[in-house]
Amino acid sequence: MLQLQISKILNSFALDIFGWTPLQQPITISLYKDWIDSKKNGSMNYLVDHYEKKKNPNNLSLDSRKANSAIVIGVKYAPVHPAPFTVEQNKLSHLNTALYSRGQDYHFWLKELLNQLINKLRLEFPDEDFVSWTDSGPVLERDLALRAGLGWIGKNTCLINKNEGSLFLLGEVFTTLNLENNNPLSGNFCGDCDICIKACPTQALDQNYHLDATKCISYWTIESKETPNEQLRSQFGDLIFGCDICQLVCPWNKKKLLNALDQSQNSTPNNVNNYREKQIEELKWILTSSNKTLQKTLAHTAYSRSAGLKLKRNALIVIGNLKIKELTSTVKQFLGHNELDTLAKWTIKLLSDNP
């Protein structure tokens, strides 16, 4: 009966992927511990601080009562993004950014969706407590989704659903309700495949389902404040914010994406020269705007996490890798810059090399 009530509420949100599970110590907590102990988290120190809370999810209190279960949802962001593209994002619309980041920042709209879900749950269960999380909380989300039967953890470390692939975000509602598991644990359908491992330009993945964040383009372009070494950054290609390579090559996503692409011819730029001009314009805008302007303009987008100096660093790397000679004089303005001087020298060297 209880399960049916929950199902009905979730179905009213037209979600493609959901499940629930009693809260217990995560299945993969020892792997998480090994990961942080071997410093694969780079400078993301909050992941070390989160360890104790992630280990005992029931202790995350809800108005002083203990949480017993979690409802886990997955919301797809490709081929179609659930949130509209913002006017501000047009500023970066010809640059290669992660698919999840196109559209308003999910930390707002997914949180809002989870709050709407909580409002409905409260009406149905007025004596129970609920709290929601997505991304930044001390919750081992992929493990929780695994436990709730949403899919399996692939060799690219992403949570993959057999019907929907892995291009979806996770969010959870913790509750005092006692919910039994509604889905069995998914099998692992990676088999002998190692396409993602081979496709990763920086060798951040290995056969053991490990991702070394200190080699991952997503980490370097979104999280880290440092400048990646020469060998690493020369592998970033045109990626300016995040990376989807190990997901785009995955057979569980590829077929769906190719089908979607077939249906929308618009996704291929029909005028390549015009496209390149726009790219140059956007990169120039990043380099010539003040950090404050970048932060203000991109405030409600996912790019806000890198807006300012980090985005300029990323732009200098892309300009070098793509050899955009038209921006040589703009790049030269960074010579002598407190933080970006060495990188600017590297970019200028690449721009002055013959093709």
Q: How many residues lie near ligand SF4 (CB under 6 A)? A: 23
What is the rounded distance in angstroms from the CA atom of residue 18 to the CA atom of residue 183? 9
Q: Which of 208, 266, 270, 271 binds ligand B12 (CB under 6 A)?
A: 208
Q: Are 224 and 212 in contact (CB under 8 A)?
A: no
Which lies closer to ligand SF4 via its Cβ, residue 202 or residue 297?
A: 202
Token reading at 241: 């914010």
160 — phi, psi (to 5°)? -115, 130
Verify whether residue 129 is a known catalytic residue.
Answer: no
Q: Are 51 and 148 in contact (CB under 8 A)?
A: no
47 binds ligand B12 (CB under 6 A): yes
Q: Which of 204, 257, 286, 340 binds ligand SF4 (CB under 6 A)?
A: 204
Which lies closer to ligand B12 via its Cβ, residue 206 or residue 341?
A: 206
Q: If you count them, how many residues does the chain have? A: 355
252 binds ligand SF4 (CB under 6 A): yes
Site string for ligand SF4, 128-157 (x = CB under 6 A): --------------------------xxx-
Residue 190 contact among ligand B12, ligand SF4, none, beta carbon within 5 to 8 Å by kind: ligand SF4
100 — phi, psi (to 5°)? -65, -25
Which of these, 248, 216, 243, lies nearest to 232 by C-alpha position?
A: 216
224 binds ligand SF4 (CB under 6 A): no
What is the rounded distance in angstroms from the CA atom of residue 140 to the CA atom of residue 72? 12
Contacts of 162 (CB under 8 A, 6+ apart): 151, 186, 189, 252
What is the rounded distance in angstroms from the CA atom of residue 350 to the CA atom of residue 330? 14
Site string for ligand B12, 82-111 (x = CB under 6 A): ----------------x-x-----------
Q: Which of 86, 156, 227, 304 binds ligand B12 (CB under 6 A)?
A: 156
Which lies closer to ligand B12 via its Cβ, residue 94 or residue 215?
A: 215
244 binds ligand B12 (CB under 6 A): yes
